[in-house]
């Protein structure tokens, strides 16, 4: 038998191979696929023909020097800006992401560098900020607290109480709250923009553990980072951008720190980087 798949389904068609039937499973399409993405801001080419794939159960690191286009691409996934040209697919279906609300409806959650948290609120209120659970006209505080505890436990968080005021938490714990907030809406894809920037060694290790938990939970993760040690510690694949263009895709398990830096600085050409990824 030869399998013919559409989306996640697999259909079998007969073929002759001795006395046995053979089925060849068709792999599902990427959770997110971006092809030929370009964006100009006036005369500035922010992105030129960029490709990116992210699968479920996968951490894809997006790296590059300042101005390489990483944040611009992340904002497109988050619905904050739209591409001038290119194709975006979710589960193999062409789509557009014109607004953050549309991104949320598609299962995309984003944590930008500023975290967008409120110091004067407790952990639970920050997790549900703008989408409070209600029973009639009243807030359902019991449900929100129970959900907050469950989400934080799923990340193996060290935050002592969901009633802790955010202003009393460390920088690493605040990053944990920001990551936990993405899980309130049951996302499928999480974008993390420099989640370990300015964190201590211990806090960085905790955040990297949270990223691994997101992968174990079946989510796709886009990790934007300048820290190559963090990238190599948790990423499955590494996508390098240089001057708004793809300059290599690497298997993190078989790639060295030096090879990534060479692609970032331009010492390695796009063609050489792709050849390395195919080995």
The tens digit of pLDDT for each residue in 190-227 reads 999 999 998 999 999 999 999 999 999 999 999 999 99
Structural domains of the chain, count: 1
Residue 18 lies in a domain: no
Neighbours of 175 (CB within 10 A): 26
Query: Which pLDDT value is given to residue 261?
Result: 94
Q: What percent of the chain has pLDDT over 90?
A: 79
Distance CA 78, CA 95 (A): 13
Residue 198 lies in a domain: yes
Residue 202 sits in a domain whose CATH number is: 3.40.50.300
Domain containing residue 86: 32-116+186-265
Residue 174 lies in a domain: no
Residue 133 lies in a domain: no
- Tens-digit pLDDT profile for the chain (279 aa)? 444 444 444 444 444 444 455 677 888 899 999 999 999 999 999 999 999 999 999 999 999 999 999 999 999 999 999 999 999 999 999 999 999 999 999 999 999 988 889 999 999 999 999 889 999 999 999 999 999 999 999 998 989 899 999 999 999 999 999 999 999 988 999 999 999 998 999 999 999 999 999 999 999 999 999 999 999 999 999 999 999 999 999 999 999 999 999 999 988 655 454 544 544
Assigned token pair, 51: 């490709």
Contact 223, 62 (CB under 8 A): yes
Q: In 3-state terms, what secondary structure has residue 136? A: coil
Residue 159 lies in a domain: no
Residue 156 lies in a domain: no
The closest alpha carbon to 115, from 55, 175, 28, 63, belongs to 175
Residue 13 lies in a domain: no
- Averaged confidence pLDDT in the chain: 89
State pLDDT tens for residues 69-90: 999 999 999 999 999 999 999 9
Question: HSE on the CB side for 227, CA within 13 Å?
Answer: 17
- Residues with Cβ within 8 Å of residue 26, at least 6 apart in sequence: 3, 4, 5, 10
The closest alpha carbon to 198, from 228, 182, 175, belongs to 175
Question: What pTM was computed for the model?
Answer: 0.85
Residue 212 lies in a domain: yes
């Amino acid at each position: 038998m030869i399998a013919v798949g559409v989306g996640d389904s697999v259909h079998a068609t007969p073929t002759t191979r001795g006395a046995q039937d053979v089925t060849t499973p068709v792999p599902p399409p990427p959770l997110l696929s971006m092809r030929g993405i370009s964006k100009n801001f006036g005369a500035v080419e922010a992105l030129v023909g960029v490709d990116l794939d992210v699968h479920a159960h996968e951490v894809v690191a997006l790296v590059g020097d300042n101005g390489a286009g990483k944040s611009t691409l992340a904002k497109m996934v988050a619905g904050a800006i739209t591409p001038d040209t290119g194709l975006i697919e979710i589960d193999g279906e062409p789509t557009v992401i014109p607004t953050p609300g549309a991104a949320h409806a598609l299962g995309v959650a984003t944590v930008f560098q500023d975290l967008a948290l409120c110091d004067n609120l407790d952990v639970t209120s920050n997790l549900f900020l703008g989408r409070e659970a209600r029973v009639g006209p009243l807030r359902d505080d019991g449900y929100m607290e129970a959900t907050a505890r469950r989400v934080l436990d799923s990340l193996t968080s060290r935050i002592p109480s969901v009633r802790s005021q955010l202003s009393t938490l460390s920088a690493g714990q605040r990053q944990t709250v920001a990551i936990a907030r993405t899980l309130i809406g049951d996302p499928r894809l999480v974008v993390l923009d420099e989640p370990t920037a300015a964190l201590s060694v211990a806090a960085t290790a905790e955040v990297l553990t949270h990223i691994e938990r997101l992968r174990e939970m079946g989510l796709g993760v886009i990790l934007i980072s300048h820290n190559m040690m963090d990238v190599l510690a948790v990423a499955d694949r590494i996508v390098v951008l240089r001057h708004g263009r793809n300059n290599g895709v690497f298997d993190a398990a078989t790639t060295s720190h030096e090879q990534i830096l060479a692609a970032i600085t331009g010492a390695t050409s796009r063609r050489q980087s792709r050849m390395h990824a195919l080995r």
